[in-house]
Amino acid sequence: MNYKKIDATRISISELMQPSHSNFGGKIHGGYILNLMDQIAFACASKHSETYCVTASVDTVDFLNPIEIGDLVTMKASINFVGRTSMVVGIRVESENIRTGEIKHCNSSYFTMVAKDDQGNSVEVPGLIINDNTEVKRFLKAIKRTETKKNRKQEFDSEDFSHTNYLDDLKKYRVRVELPDTY
């Protein structure tokens, strides 16, 4: 198996946000940012795997700060984790007011990408060479996110899952449960 350093596949892109990218509130549309994030995730994963990649899942998309028309948006992507055929690409989104120089962290997200051959079959990806504590932390956090996701899926997909086990948990939310007696 061959291995690649994370630095070898890091990618950064910048784009000036224009009025055509805005939503009805005058801020940059979240869907446009997600599209750019998917593009950089694809580029980073394809650079690492040296093949075509598809998006398998997107984890933790939190829009922390709005992006304004005229801001320079910079996205930085790196491989945080590799499995046999999949890679987790970590993406950081920042916006810069080019008049004031103020930089805001707008989003961090994790895209799971799967390497494919020309027939659409999943193919093995190179391993990772981790060079510093930040890269180790990112790799371990990716493992923990995957474990949490699997555990949650097992719990909710289980044949013996019953909503009645969770009804008391709903008391802390703004919801009133009015189930028919036959339930």
Q: What local confidence, expressed as pLDDT, does residue 160 receive? A: 82
> What residue segments make up the domains of the chain, in order of their start?
3-129
Q: CB burial class (10 A; 0-12, 13-18, 19+) of residue 37?
A: buried
Give pTM, 2 decimals.
0.88
Query: Which superfamily is assigned to 3-129 in CATH?
Result: Hotdog Thioesterase (3.10.129.10)
Query: pLDDT tens digits, residue range 7-32?
Result: 999 999 999 999 999 999 999 999 99
Tokens 């339930």 found at? 183
* C-beta of residue 114 within 8 angstroms of C-beta of residue 56: yes
In degrees and rounded to multiples of 5, residue 134 shows phi and psi of -65, -45
Percent of residues, the chain, with pLDDT higher than 70: 99
From the list 37, 47, 36, 38, the residue with the least C-alpha distance to 9 is 47
Query: At 12, which helix (H) or strand (E)?
Result: strand 11-16
For the stretch 52-77, pLDDT in tens is 999 999 998 999 999 999 999 999 99
Tell me, what's the pLDDT at 181? 75
**pLDDT of 143-183, one tens digit each?**
999 999 999 888 888 888 888 888 888 889 999 888 887 64
Distance CA 161, CA 117 (A): 38
